[in-house]
A and B are shown apart, each in its own frame.
Chain A
């Protein structure tokens, strides 16, 4: 399709988009304030968007903060991600009939519309697409839900204290994989959104609301705002070959040091938008005749995760932290062709011990650099 020119809508226009999606039969999921956090939940009304709320985040710390303006997307990642809808924490895979045949879960016919998907999280959805639906065998329920999902993305103009998507090259701008992409604009008291169209479905929904054609100035200002956001990230990953660094760091003494702080609680894997691991659970009713298999999120921090008869492959916390971070940053490339980290910073904010993935990598990189110097300082032969 030809890419239509960008347009500008105002806040009532955004509300109209959301109502249009609802009227179209989409189940609209978006950010809203609940339990002192900005969560992702089904919206009954655009009024539930977190207007005027920002977020302060740092290692082990997340607090809402009122804003002076009515911005609805000026908050960084919360404790949830879109994976809880696309790849639910618990789902039935099949149930058995009395004749010992099996019926697959037919799956909900839900069509989700995701409101406010940031660059980091859109990249995470792309990674889940590869992991769960890009191989020889795909997770059919995931693929079904994903195909039916409408994505209203936002270019991030308000990165938080634990964000580092600029250094993972997954944000703050959204680049692909959206139906519509917004850039929230708050200048001169005017609250507007520059809207770019990614798909025909996006264009169809957008056509339903009042809009004006964007000027070259609108587009430039929006781009400049997103570019400024790239310079305001709270953190960054060291600019080294992470895949190689983690591969070379298998025997690093750092793992024992992290293990002295890590509670092995699995929070990082639960909040991570790309951590996809699951465990199956087989259950029966009291008669034992009716059986079901359920799938639930699992974590490489669980001691049973690697269980083989005789014991776990990774009994120590040090080995489990190494597995998590090495998979995320290094072996994910071998398995799925990209990094598994999108720089959203959730694992930093929601770690009860405040362990910071960027800081741990920086220490590994420092140790590796020192190691190389030591080697080069040794006399030849």
Chain B
């Protein structure tokens, strides 16, 4: 009976009321929301963690946190890609709207363990959102890291998240930013092609590089293979995985990927763990 005699840990399924205090349009179907607690404030997040965001009466979805990790103002920054009923409702939420928040949940990118290393951050589309805290966290302590390389891809030039910030990053000389658009477009003078292509041409020191990948699963798989060919050990490649999540705390069973409960054992896992799981169809 020892399991059950533990103290109650509150009501992890109960949302905490937050309010939208900022809304930044990113692309035609993505926004970044600033959320402030109405009263009680949730614990501080680690880069890579997610929250469960509730749109009143519609439903709840997992959303990764895209904000600055070093601030302690209690604000949550979350980037929403409108793809379903709940994400559309959250996308459309205006400043002042009420949302419910649970979390933060899941594993982190564990940026601290990458100190002293070169960082390679590769993002596809909305995948840049959970990686933004990695870049911001590393820039906040720039001297602790070696080279920092950001490779971000999007379907088109207008599909990049955080465009103003990306330009500012690109202008820094202590950050190596490569942007690539899947399709050529008028006015786009950057690279055209998938994220994997610039990755192939990068000069990497495989023993000193930690890679952080987030994007569609095939993109992460191909990127990881490119990095393995560069000589990176799979333990130095970290990815953010996505599965159906309803509880966020390992109780509902939806987010299983083989031995993993992605909400509990992920979303961030290393490629040594994920490689086998991502190559089995419909696992």
Tell me which of B4, B246, B281 has the highest count of chain A C-beta atoms within 10 A of its own C-beta.
B4
B269 to chain A, nearest CB (A): 13
Chain B residue contacts of A319, Cβ below 8 A: 281-283
B279 to chain A, nearest CB (A): 10
Given A308-B242, A316-B282, A319-B283, answer yes or no on A278-B252 (Cβ-Cβ < 8 Å).
yes
Is A45 an interface residue when CB atoms closer than 8 A count as contact? no
Given A94-B14, A291-B57, A319-B281, answer yes or no on A306-B259 (Cβ-Cβ < 8 Å).
no
Chain B residue contacts of A277, Cβ below 8 A: 252-254
User: How long is the Cα–Cα vector from A284 to B57 in the complex, in angstroms?
Assistant: 5
Number of interface residues of B (CB under 8 A): 47
User: How long is the Cα–Cα vector from A144 to B9 in the complex, in angstroms?
Assistant: 12
Is B6 an interface residue when CB atoms closer than 8 A count as contact? yes
Determine which of A94, A139, A147, A293 lies in contact with B251 in the assembled complex, contact meaning CB atoms within 8 Å.
Answer: A139
Contact-residue bracket for chain A: 35 or more
A55 to chain B, nearest CB (A): 30
> Nearest residue in A to B84 (C-beta to C-beta)?
A309
- Within A122-145, which residues are at the interface with B (CB < 8 Å)? 129-140, 143-144
User: How long is the Cα–Cα vector from A318 to B282 in the complex, in angstroms?
Assistant: 9
CB contacts between A and B, total, < 8 Å: 144
Interface string of A144-165 (1 = CB under 8 A from B): 1011000000000000000000
Determine which of A132, A279, A331 lies in contact with B256 in the assembled complex, contact meaning CB atoms within 8 Å.
Answer: A331
> Nearest residue in A to B251 (C-beta to C-beta)?
A139
User: How long is the Cα–Cα vector from A146 to B2 in the complex, in angstroms?
Assistant: 12
Is B198 an interface residue when CB atoms closer than 8 A count as contact? no
B282 touching A137, Cβ below 8 Å:
no
B14 touching A104, Cβ below 8 Å:
yes
Interface string of A295-336 (1 = CB under 8 A from B): 100101000011111100111101100010011001100110
A147 touching B15, Cβ below 8 Å:
no
Determine which of B84, B250, B254 lies in contact with A137 in the assembled complex, contact meaning CB atoms within 8 Å.
Answer: B250
> Nearest residue in A to B14 (C-beta to C-beta)?
A104
Is A101 an interface residue when CB atoms closer than 8 A count as contact? yes
User: How long is the Cα–Cα vector from A293 to B13 in the complex, in angstroms?
Assistant: 9
Is A250 an interface residue when CB atoms closer than 8 A count as contact? yes
13 further interface pairs, Cβ-Cβ under 8 Å (given A104-B14, A291-B57): A94-B13, A100-B56, A102-B17, A138-B9, A146-B4, A278-B251, A278-B253, A280-B247, A282-B59, A288-B56, A308-B243, A334-B258, A335-B261
27 inter-chain pairs at a CB distance below 8 angstroms, sorted by A residue, are A100-B17, A100-B56, A102-B100, A133-B4, A135-B249, A137-B9, A138-B8, A140-B12, A143-B4, A144-B8, A147-B4, A177-B1, A251-B280, A277-B252, A278-B246, A278-B247, A279-B246, A279-B252, A280-B60, A282-B60, A288-B56, A288-B57, A306-B254, A308-B242, A313-B244, A313-B282, A335-B260
B residues adjacent to A (C-beta < 8 A): 1, 3-6, 8-15, 17, 38, 54, 56-60, 83-84, 87, 98, 100, 242-244, 246-247, 249-254, 256, 258-261, 264, 280-283
